[in-house]
């Protein structure tokens, strides 16, 4: 039985998919042995590799607390945030596989080009549009706010979009995150451009490309019911908006 207050430590094998566009024709896997505590996160392991073994390892990270969404990557075949994935929650009797998220152009190691993702996000006009000029707060009832509360939680990490098989095979599909961003304003009682967004998402590369596999909901580190939000947007395009 371990002493009170003592945290177990382990040697964990990380197998990281590497790619350097200046020297490599294609990506390859590289092994690293890392000493970690059970309370460490995958991000801590990547830091130890970069700081102690190979400074050329490239990945994005910022807040390290699951808020910025910078460090989305595939860990053991699932999209996750490296800063929220604890070592103790993984089976460390086996190697931990880490690679870049799929469906976006690979730039280097675990870094992808996010521009296609943000281009789709911008296209759905993810901002409040209103011609009214209230002289005081534009109030909402708790029920009106609750209507879109779930989709306000998105941190634009791209974990949902890059877990989608349709997005992997169709570079034109808006993807779950863009639809979630649209949902947040479509169902906002203060917004006046809901129909504009519904028309955009009613295109052949909009909500109708979703095949309801639930990958997106499972991948979301914020627990957003992404598939449900997409279904609600689909329903609104058919029956009209019901806030």
User: What is the per-residue pLDDT across 78-94, written as a single tens digit (0 to 9) for each?
Assistant: 999 999 999 999 999 99
Every domain of the chain and the residues it spans: 9-112, 115-239
pLDDT value for 48? 98
Maximum Cα interatomic distance, the chain, rounded to a whole number of Å? 66
**221: region left, alpha or beta (phi > 0 left; psi from -120 to 50 alpha):** alpha
How many other C-beta atoms can be found within 10 angstroms of the C-beta atom of residue 66?
17
pLDDT score at 221 = 97
Task: Kindly report the backbone phi and psi dihedral angles of residue 51, in degrees, each rounded to the nearest multiple of 5, phi listed first.
Answer: -85, -25
Residue-wise pLDDT for 159-211, tens only, equals 999 999 999 998 789 999 999 999 999 999 999 999 999 999 998 889 999 99
Whether pLDDT at 97 is above 70: yes
Q: What percent of the chain has pLDDT over 90?
A: 87
Instruction: Please give the pLDDT value at position 243.
Output: 65
Per-residue pLDDT, 218: 97
| CATH code assigned to 115-239 | 1.10.1060.10
pLDDT at 135: 86
Asked if pLDDT for residue 5 goes beyond 80, the answer is: no
Report the DSSP beta bridge partners of residue 86.
41
Show the DSSP H helices in the chain as ranges.
42-48, 115-123, 142-146, 165-169, 176-186, 194-201, 215-219, 226-239
Among 3.40.640.10, 3.10.20.30, 3.40.50.300, 3.20.20.150, what is the CATH number of 9-112? Answer: 3.10.20.30
C-alpha separations of 44 from 18, 86, 100, 129 in Å: 18, 9, 17, 41
Binned at pLDDT 50, 70 and 90, residue 111 comes out as: very high
- Report, in angstroms and rounded to the nearest whole number, the Rg of the chain calculated over CA atoms: 21
What is the reported pLDDT for 30? 98
- Closest by alpha carbon to 170, among 116, 101, 212? 116
Chain segment 121-164, per-residue pLDDT in tens: 999 999 999 998 888 888 899 999 999 999 999 999 999 999 99
What pTM did the predictor assign? 0.92
CA-CA distance, 44 to 50, in Å (whole number)?
10
pLDDT band, residue 2 (cuts 50/70/90): low
What residues form DSSP beta bridges with 78? 75
pLDDT over 70 (residue 1): no
User: Average pLDDT over the chain, rounded to whole?
Assistant: 94
* Pick from 112, 118, 116, 115: nearest CA to 100: 112
Q: What is the pLDDT of residue 136?
A: 87
Among 49-58, 95-104, 124-133, the range scoring the smallest mean pLDDT is 124-133
């Amino acid at each position: 039985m371990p002493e009170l207050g003592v945290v177990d430590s382990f040697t964990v094998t990380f197998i990281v998919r590497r790619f350097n566009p200046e020297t490599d024709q294609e990506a390859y896997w590289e092994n690293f042995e890392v000493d970690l505590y059970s309370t460490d996160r995958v991000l801590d392991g990547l830091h130890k590799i970069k700081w102690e073994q190979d400074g050329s390892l490239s990945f994005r990270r910022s807040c390290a607390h699951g808020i910025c969404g910078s460090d989305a990557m595939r860990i053991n075949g699932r999209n996750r945030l490296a800063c929220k994935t604890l070592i103790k929650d993984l089976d460390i009797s086996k190697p931990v596989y880490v690679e870049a998220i799929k469906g976006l152009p690979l730039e280097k190691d675990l870094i992808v080009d996010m521009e296609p993702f943000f281009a789709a996000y911008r296209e759905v006009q993810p901002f409040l549009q209103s011609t009214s000029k209230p002289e005081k707060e534009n109030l909402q009832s708790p029920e009106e706010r609750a209507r879109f509360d779930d989709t306000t939680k998105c941190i634009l990490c791209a974990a949902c979009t890059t877990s989608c098989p349709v997005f992997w095979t169709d570079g034109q599909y808006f993807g779950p995150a863009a639809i979630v961003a649209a949902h947040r304003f479509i169902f906002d009682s203060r917004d006046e451009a809901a129909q504009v967004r519904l028309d955009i998402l009613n295109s052949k590369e909009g909500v109708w490309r979703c095949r309801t596999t639930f990958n997106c909901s499972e991948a979301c580190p914020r627990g957003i019911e992404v598939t449900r939000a997409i279904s609600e947007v689909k329903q609104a395009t058919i029956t009209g908006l019901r806030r």
